[in-house]
């Protein structure tokens, strides 16, 4: 009799437990569905640039599903999109704090997510908190030391402060060089380094340093019209921007520019940009360095600009025709 009663009580407990479990699952499923609904709605608002409305929907998302780290990340991105660097108003400070809080929630939930780590680094970067931003950018390198693109991201971060902080300038250069070391046969690494020096400081030495990397870029891919064009623009910049230099120095750079631009034109006769820069070179530099040849140089410049405009028109007409064919196809 006692065993029978125990069995009945045990059975009743099982039924009660099952009912509680089922209710919990049902509640969980309803919460998940509501979270998904708000998350989908929030994402569309985010895409449409309606960040304040998106914030409300992302907050509802995490209310129903506190473990959805993607919602925290995009909640942070929504606040970040409203943040205005350099604005010291209390409202702007509150927006920054809320963005960081959301990103930290996402980071706690997914500490190895490169996207979340980048979002945190970028937010601190916008706040000009170099120390904290650097910590998260370097975390990306720790996670993916073999990913060349990551070195470029970190180098670009350092570059933003390179003009005012010498130690960060050295770090930027080391990141660009590290990228080259990882893949020395990749021409793009040398292009990144050349662009870095050209944007670092307007000095003849910086342009000469950049030109060294354009030379290496060309050596790896001598058939690239784009590489020759880049070198031509570099040499034009040196000849044009530093008019206090000796005329012979500027003429040498101008001749180097002319050679590089003509090489780009020869490699790809239908590439418009070399013709445009040849026109600029003749009018802005050659006519000034050799005024006795001004008439001839202006004539050459006009001829090249006409060619440039003709090629651009052909390219536009071709694109228009292709779009029309797509519509009819």
| Residue-by-residue pLDDT tens, the chain, 329 positions | 444 454 444 444 433 343 343 444 444 476 688 889 989 998 999 999 999 999 999 999 999 998 888 999 999 999 999 999 999 999 999 999 999 999 999 999 999 999 999 999 999 999 999 999 999 999 999 998 888 888 888 998 998 888 788 888 899 999 999 989 988 999 999 999 999 999 887 899 999 999 999 999 999 999 999 999 999 999 999 999 999 999 999 999 999 999 999 999 999 999 999 999 999 999 999 999 999 999 999 999 999 999 999 999 999 988 888 888 887 75
Both structure tokens of 21: 């479990």
Residue 167: Cβ within 10 Å count: 10
- Out of 125, 143, 161, a domain closes at 143
**Domain of 259?**
223-313
Work out how many domains the chain is built from and give that number. 2
Q: Is residue 307 domain-resident?
A: yes
Q: Is residue 325 domain-resident?
A: no
Contacts 24+ apart (CB under 8 A), 225-229: 225/263, 225/264, 225/265, 225/267, 225/268, 225/271, 225/274, 226/264, 227/187, 227/191, 228/260, 228/261, 228/263, 228/264, 228/267, 228/274, 229/260, 229/261, 229/264, 229/271, 229/273, 229/274, 229/277
Are 139 and 36 within one domain? yes
Judge whether 62 and 76 are in contact, CB under 8 Å: no
Judge whether 104 and 75 are in contact, CB under 8 Å: no
What whole-number distance in Å separates Cα of residue 183 and Cα of residue 250?
A: 35
Q: Is residue 294 domain-resident?
A: yes
Q: Is residue 195 domain-resident?
A: no
Residue 219: Cβ within 10 Å count: 11
pLDDT of residue 247: 95
Q: What is the CATH number of the domain that holds 74?
A: 1.25.40.10
Are 138 and 42 within one domain? yes
Judge whether 129 and 150 are in contact, CB under 8 Å: no
Contacts 24+ apart (CB under 8 A), 158-166: 159/196, 159/199, 159/200, 160/125, 161/130, 162/200, 163/200, 163/201, 165/130
Q: Is residue 318 domain-resident?
A: no
pLDDT of residue 270: 95
What whole-number distance in Å separates Cα of residue 191 and Cα of residue 180?
A: 10
Interior/surface letters 88-119, b for 16+ CB within 10 angstroms, e for the rest: eeeeeeebbebbbebbebbbebbeebeebbbb
Are 41 and 132 within one domain? yes
pLDDT of residue 20: 40
Q: Is residue 90 domain-resident?
A: no
What whole-number distance in Å separates Cα of residue 302 and Cα of residue 153?
A: 41
Q: What's the alpha-carbon Rg for the chain, to the nearest Å?
A: 30
Q: Is residue 267 domain-resident?
A: yes
Are 132 and 233 within one domain? no
Whole-prediction pTM: 0.74
Q: Is residue 79 domain-resident?
A: yes
pLDDT of residue 322: 83
How would you class 46 by CB atoms within 10 Å of its CB: exposed for 0-12, middle for 13-18, buried for 19 or more? Answer: buried
Alpha helices in the chain, H assignment, sequence order: 2-47, 51-64, 69-82, 90-109, 114-126, 130-143, 148-162, 166-182, 187-200, 204-220, 225-241, 247-267, 272-281, 287-289, 294-328
pLDDT of residue 10: 40
């Amino acid at each position: 009799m006692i065993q029978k009663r125990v069995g009945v009580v045990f059975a009743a407990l099982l039924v009660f437990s099952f009912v509680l479990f089922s209710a919990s699952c049902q509640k969980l499923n309803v919460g998940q569905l509501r979270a998904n609904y708000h998350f989908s709605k929030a994402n569309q608002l985010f895409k449409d640039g309606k960040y304040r409305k998106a914030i409300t929907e992302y907050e509802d998302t995490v209310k129903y599903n506190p473990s959805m780290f993607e919602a925290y990340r995009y909640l942070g991105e929504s606040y970040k999109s409203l943040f205005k660097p350099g604005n010291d108003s209390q409202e702007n400070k509150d927006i920054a704090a809320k963005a960081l809080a959301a990103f930290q929630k996402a980071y706690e939930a997914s500490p190895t997510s490169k996207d979340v780590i980048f979002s945190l680094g970028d937010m601190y970067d916008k706040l000009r908190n170099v120390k904290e931003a650097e910590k998260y950018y370097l975390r990306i390198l720790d996670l993916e030391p073999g990913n060349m693109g990551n070195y470029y991201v970190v180098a670009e971060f350092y570059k933003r402060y390179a003009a005012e902080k010498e130690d960060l300038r050295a770090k930027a250069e080391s990141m660009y060089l590290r990228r080259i070391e990882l893949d020395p046969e990749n021409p793009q690494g040398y292009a990144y380094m050349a662009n870095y020096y050209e944007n670092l400081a307007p000095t003849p030495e910086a342009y000469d340093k950049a030109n060294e990397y354009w030379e290496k870029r060309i050596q790896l891919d001598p058939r690239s019209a784009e590489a020759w064009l880049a070198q031509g623009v570099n040499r034009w910049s040196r000849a044009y921007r530093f008019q206090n230099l000796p005329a012979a120095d500027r003429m040498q750079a101008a001749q180097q520019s002319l050679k590089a631009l003509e090489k780009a034109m020869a490699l790809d006769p239908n590439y418009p940009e070399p013709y445009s820069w040849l026109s600029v070179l003749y009018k802005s530099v050659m006519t000034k360095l050799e005024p006795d040849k001004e008439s001839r140089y202006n004539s050459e410049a006009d001829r090249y600009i006409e060619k440039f405009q003709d090629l651009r028109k052909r390219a536009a007409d071709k694109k228009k025709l292709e779009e029309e064919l797509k519509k009819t196809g």
